[in-house]
A and B are shown apart, each in its own frame.
Chain A
Amino acid sequence: EADIYQTPRYLVIGTGKKITLECSQTMGHDKMYWYQQDPGMELHLIHYSYGVNSTEKGDLSSESTVSRIRTEHFPLTLESARPSHTSQYLCASSEWGSSYEQYFGPGTRLTVT
């Protein structure tokens, strides 16, 4: 079944640790996105990709980095987690074109202590 997956769903980690949030999609979409969402607030785009070897920063400044080595995989890495990184992270993908919707994964809720 075509879908978009995120792991882990929940993560509690100490300050200074390196973490990678995984995102994979089986829909063959070229475009992928990472959003940060704080409780009760809008989604902020932090990274996006047009395809393999393409990555761009979004509207919200983020200390995270991303890579796109395979079409289906778009991991997000925090080299040194801080309490300010505590948030929900949503991954999405879409076909190329403005009329196409974005499909979202279930999200990763990150807590940095």
Chain B
Amino acid sequence: AQSVTQLGSHVSVSEGALVLLRCNYSSSVPPYLFWYVQYPNQGLQLLLKYTSAATLVKGINGFEAEFKKSETSFHLTKPSAHMSDAAEYFCAVSDGGNTGNQFYFGTGTSLTVIP
């Protein structure tokens, strides 16, 4: 069975500081992993995805994530936070099974950027 754990439901960083949002996964098969961002009253927008190519994945808006199999982690980072990064972030794993790409989402991390 697949599952995702996001450590820290709320993260606050100062503008210009490093952003680190944590995601650990559990998967019985090689995982496909995704990070999404959700702004208030909107749907989810894909930031980046890992599909077994390069372990360091670069996404939109300066975000990147590194797949670490030994740590079963897929943490999201951004070197310098911007006010516009304030949003809810979701990590997800795809089941990769015969049911197609059902996603299992984490509980989300709310990012606050302090001016």
A residues within 8 Å of B by Cβ? 4, 6, 9, 31, 40-43, 45, 48, 50, 90, 92, 94, 96-107, 109
Contact = CB atoms under 8 A, between A and B. Distances in A.
Q: Determine chain A's interface SS by DSSP, over half rule.
A: loop
A102 B103 contact: yes
Nearest to B88: A40
B101 A42 contact: no
A42 B100 contact: no
A88 B102 CA distance: 19
B12 interface: no
B45 interface: yes
Contact of A101 (B46, B100, B106): B46
B43 A90 contact: yes
A102 B108 contact: no
Given A98-B95, A99-B94, A50 B44 contact: no
